[in-house]
Structure 1
Amino acid sequence: MTLNDRLIIKVPASSANLGPGFDSIGLALNLYLTLEVEKHDKWECRSQCEELKDLPTDESHFICQVAIQTAAHYGTKLSPCKISVDSEIPLARGLGSSAAAIVAGIELADSVGDLGLTKQEKLLLATKWEGHPDNVGASLFGGLVIGCYGQDEVDMLSFTDLPFEMVALVPQDILLTKESREVLPTTYSQGEAIQASSTANLLIAALLSQNWSLAGKMMEKDLFHQPYRKPLIHAYHEMEQLAKSSGAFGVALSGAGPTVICFIEKGKGKQLMHTMQAGFPEMHAMLLSISDTGSNICTAEEFVQ
């Protein structure tokens, strides 16, 4: 990146877990965090978004910190940048806003610092920041991702062109991941672990074979986190009942919540969105599709074209 270049970094949102896929299954969504970057004499990070306007505007901004520390990890001091941030991803609602910021910071370091990182190297760095690979993997690779993290290694597969879409019900209230993790048990019995993991395995098989009814059944049978988190979500069961009676094949918490995500065959989501919005007017119903491409970096000129 030269002094006169302007870069555009675009990173999709994500939904994780999808019921039983706790900390291992993620899905990239067509909501985006977008950075416009140019080299500058000092770090400056600003946004016109209402949700982001109170965040730091200097190098203490989270995205800048991820970029600076990523470059330092590879022995590079990053040139300061002026960054304009735009985001369609609601903060602290279970739609991967922090994961998208982590991926954006790593892509920023890689582009500005000429680090030459592979996707796999970016994935490991992002997973170390986030603590699990599902959200960051979806934001990096796009599509439906299944990942495993352990012993300083991440293995992941991504699947695209899946013919379903989603309706997300986004509440006004936030729910921090830290708070929602505090309600989870610290251990599971052997029997619970076997049942929970087999449910997640079958969910993946059902999604990839397009057996929607079985996928929805497995989403409801989660034992890892939803039984403990659903009580934190106002009217969860009412939302689930309305969605399923209106054509959704499955309903789950998005990530740690509080957003509830309803899965439906492609082409049928618009009516479901209207139905859910009418049933729960205090929430924001959004029709979403799968983002199959993951994070993308281009020049401002290429972005316009």
Structure 2
Amino acid sequence: MQLGADHVRVRVPATSANLGPGFDALGLALGLHDVLEVRALASDEVVVDVVGEGAGEVPGDASHLVVRALRAALELAGAPQTGLHLTCENQVPHGRGLGSSAAAVVAGIVAARALVADPEVLDDATVLRLATQFEGHPDNAAPAILGGATVAWTSAAPGHEGARAVRLAVHPDLEATVLVPSARLATSHARGVLPASVPHADAALNAGRAALLVEAIARRPELLLEATEDRLHQSYRSGVMPTSWELVQALRAEGLAATVSGAGPTVLVLSASAERPRLDAVVDDLLSGADEWEPRRLAIDEDGVRAERVPRGARTAPVGGW
């Protein structure tokens, strides 16, 4: 497999996983993006320039997660490895439960897809399987790839092995508000406090609520509060993100469908557009004087990751110019 381009641009969204009861399964793509440009170099050199989130923190060499994912995808496609110049303009916060690592992995794989002569060798199903090998679970990678809301799972059925996902319908009035704290939390730490087993009654409740959440997201936003109830993971993680858990409980006491976003510590609130004035008032009241929280209302990203080949001589586009 030969390369079909030497300069590509990729845009990938932030994601929120779990959405309450859909642990390791449900996810939502959000209107906050990382934009990357990749140039293939004739030398073996790898250069990584980062602006925005992660600048000065993430590696600037071949150990960068985007580069590792890109190289793994080139190897899978049977394409030659090259030197790389990677430029990242990052908006997705790191370590906040908004899918920054999934965004990096998906962006790297899809950059490889845009570089190779036959992109179909890295179709969406292959991208998801490879991304899951990096991530360990597909709940963030699926909405980053497909956009909108998704259900993802890992299958052992003959002929369907590996990570799989489907898109869900999303009600046009659904809105997402994220309350992003200044504190970070490693996913490994958040997962490490989960119990090996839970009461049968709690598992049964979550199964029902996850099914109801599919209906609430697609057709019945008025059911979001009940549909986002969870007993599998959030309360067990309260000790490692006490402020986030307190905020989730306070918002839910006001009738708002608040959950921990992914492994936290960001708080996600799902709502219908008609709830916006009351949501704003409640958030303003609860966060009054709390400078460590940044509220942001985000659109639902319906596109998922996008990539394009950049013609020779074309100027680099800013994030807002996609």
TM-score greater than 0.5 by the shorter chain: yes
Distance 2:197 2:289 in 1: 37
Q: 1:106 aligns with which of 84, 104, 109?
A: 109
Q: Which residue type is aligned with residue 201 of structure 1?
A: A
Question: What is the aligned partner in structure 1 of residue 305 from structure 2?
Answer: 295
Provide the C-alpha distance between the structure 2 equivalents of 1:92 and 1:236, rounded to a whole number of angstroms.
Answer: 14
User: 1:12 maps to which residue?
Assistant: 13
Match among 173, 177, 184 for residue 183 of structure 2: 173
The Cα shift of 1:188 comes to: 3.0
Quick one: distance in 2 between partners of 1:242 and 1:185?
25
Q: Distance in 1 between matches of 2:55 and 2:228?
A: 33
Identical-pair percentage: 30
**Structure 2 counterpart of 1:198, which letter?**
G
> In the aligned structure 1, how far is the partner of 2:301 from the partner of 2:165?
17
Whether 2:78 is the aligned partner of 1:71: answer: no
Task: Choose 58-67 or 288-297, whichever is displaced more.
Answer: 58-67
**1:255 aligned onto 2:262:** yes
Stretches of structure 2 that go unaligned for 5 or more consecutive residues are none
Q: Give the whole-Å Cα distance in 2 for the aligned partners of 1:245 and 1:20.
A: 18
Classify the secondary structure of the residue corresponding to 2:93: coil
Unmatched segments (≥5 aa) in structure 1: none
CA contact under 8 A between 1:142 and 1:160: conserved in structure 2?
no
Which has the larger displacement, 130-139 or 203-212? 203-212
Q: Aligned letter for 1:294?
A: G
**What are the equivalent positions in structure 2 for 1:10-89 lying under 5 Å apart?**
10-40=11-41, 41=43, 42-49=45-52, 51-89=54-92
CA positional deviation for 1:277: 4.7
1:164 and 2:168 aligned: no
Distance 2:141 2:36 in 1: 17
Contact 1:26 1:145 in 2 (8 A): yes
Partner SS, residue 188 of structure 2: helix
Q: Give the alignment of 1:82-161 within 5 angstroms.
A: 82-114=85-117, 115-116=119-120, 117-151=122-156, 152-161=161-170
Structure 1 residue 198 corresponds to structure 2 residue 208: yes
SS in 1 for 2:296: strand
CA deviation vs aligned residue, 1:160-189 (integer Å, no higher than 9, x gap): 542211221111111001000111011234
Offset, 1:8: 1.1
**TM-aligned CA distance change 1:84 to 1:103, over 3 Å:** same
Q: Secondary structure at the match of 1:102?
A: helix
How many Å apart are 1:267 and its aligned residue? Answer: 5.9
Output the CA distance in 1 between the equivalents of 2:231 and 2:27. Answer: 17
Q: Deviation at 1:77? A: 2.5
SS in 1 for 2:59: coil
Count the aligned residue pairs.
Answer: 301
Which one-letter code corresponds to 2:153 in the other structure? C
- Given that residues 277 and 284 in structure 1 are in contact (C-alpha distance below 8 angstroms), is that contact kept between their aligned partners in structure 2? no
Given that 2:244 and 2:265 are in contact with CA atoms closer than 8 Å, whether structure 1 keeps it comes out as no
Tell me the CA shift for residue 237 of structure 1: 5.3
Shifted more, 7-16 versus 71-80: the winner is 71-80
- Distance in 1 (CA, whole Å) between partners of 2:132 and 2:167 is 16
Contact 1:49–1:86 at 8 Å: present in 2 too? yes
Distance 2:191 2:87 in 1: 32
Amino acid aligned to 1:19: G
Question: What is the CA–CA distance in structure 2 between the aligned matches of 1:208 and 1:10, rounded to whole Å?
Answer: 25
Distance 1:279 1:133 in 2: 37
Structure 1 counterpart SS, 2:54 = helix
The reply to whether residue 232 of structure 1 matches residue 240 of structure 2 is yes
